[in-house]
Homo-oligomer: A and B are copies of this chain.
Amino acid sequence: MIRFFLAAAALGILSGQTPAVSNVRGAAYPQVHPDRRVTFQWKAPAAQKVQVMPGGGNNGLGKGPFEMTRSAEGVWSATIGPVQPGFHYYWFLADGVAVNDPNSETYFGWARPTSGIDVPDERLDFYEPKDVPHGDVRMHWYRSKVTGQMRRAFVYAPPGYDANPRTRYPVLYLQHGSGESERGWVAQGRMNFVLDNLLAAGKAKPMIVVMELGYAQRPGETGGRGNEAFGDVMMQDLIPEIDKSFRTLTDRTQRAIAGLSMGGGQAMQIGLANLDRFASIGSFSGAGARNFDVQSSYGGVFKDAAAFNKRVKLFWVGCGREDALFAGSSALHTALDKGGVRHTWSEGPGLHDWQVWRKHLHEFAPLLFRD
């Protein structure tokens, strides 16, 4: 009995901390405490110094790096926080070199596999898996004519898609941020559970959601950010492929594009340049045009506000107030307002962080494809 308590205390069970849901199966650490402190642990006997580094140096885990302390056996540990709820990238700095935590699943962020921790928000459950019908997420391979390479889209098919083989669905193209991949919206964003829950509550229209890698280059093209050809892939390859392979509604009113950060910028660039194909656009903490000018930016599409307002069903812009991009998003909102351009503006607490983007999707999706 005493043994049990000692073992349980070692695992932190008695004081209520639990392994993070973002851990690999069976890993006891990282652990999340009821007050949202987080304990990390890693064995590296030869290291002189080990730190916990939040992705980018400062995210919902706080401003790092955080020093870890060494046990006699060479196990390093640190308890930090309370941290913000949501998904946060992190890695260890072992004598200054970034390495991942073997106890965490890896998530593609910062242009490489990266550790991550998902900290529950006791006030929110809209992105948790519940006992409602679940849509599938399909990995769909296709050849890109633009790049000459095989590409892979992730496609959310809503519950009922297979059972109703004559029903056609509107489509949201949903993009990740810089350094991430087509996997991000499912693994980090839990977009499938967000949609499942909205649909079960009757709060959104059933829709297909397509997520692709926002990077693409033409054959021989090198350097740059690596996303130069993504607009062409979207318009010339991906949309035709999805319309061919899935039961889509193909009218522009039934097609939307949105994304986060770099993907928000891409949604605005691609969407606003192709209003014959998209009627709804969303930018989540978007990396938009610098020095936005309502008369001239984005090819002058906002200049005739009345025409824009008639043509665009939904133009949604949101950002967290603690986000470094907030000033730009807020300025965009103000300029759109002054220019008479109808749009939905969403601001709230939050960093440049997946918890904000989960909330953005949760706000945005119900507004799509209304009659």
| A348, CB-defined interface residue at 8 Å | no
Segment from A94-102, A232-240, A337-345 that makes contact with B = A94-102
Query: A136 and B140: CB pair below 8 A?
Result: yes
Mark contacts of A117-136 with chain B using CB atoms, 8 A cut-off: 1 yes-contact digit, 0 otherwise. Answer: 00000000000010100101
Among the listed B97, B129, B247, which residue makes an inter-chain contact with A43, where contact means beta carbons less than 8 Å apart? B97
The copy count of this chain in the complex is: 2
The residue in chain B whose Cβ has the minimal distance to the Cβ of A99 is: B99
Among the listed B44, B143, B150, which residue makes an inter-chain contact with A97, where contact means beta carbons less than 8 Å apart? B44
Residues of B within 8 A of A186 (CB): 139
Residues of B within 8 A of A102 (CB): 98, 100, 112-113
Query: A141 and B134: CB pair below 8 A?
Result: yes
Residues of B within 8 A of A111 (CB): 24-26
Q: If the complex has contacts A112-B24, A113-B24, A113-B106, are A46 and B45 also in contact, measured as CB distance less than 8 A?
A: no
Assembly CA distance A102 to B106 (angstroms) = 11
Question: 8 Å CB contacts to B: which residues of A59-117?
Answer: 94-100, 102-106, 108, 111-113
Assembly CA distance A112 to B155 (angstroms) = 26
The residue in chain B whose Cβ has the minimal distance to the Cβ of A114 is: B102
From residue A269, how far is it (CB to closest CB) to chain B in Å? 21
Query: A143 and B131: CB pair below 8 A?
Result: yes
| A292, CB-defined interface residue at 8 Å | no
Query: B165 and A150: CB pair below 8 A?
Result: no
Assembly CA distance A284 to B241 (angstroms) = 36
| A47, CB-defined interface residue at 8 Å | yes
| A5, CB-defined interface residue at 8 Å | no
Assembly CA distance A106 to B213 (angstroms) = 17
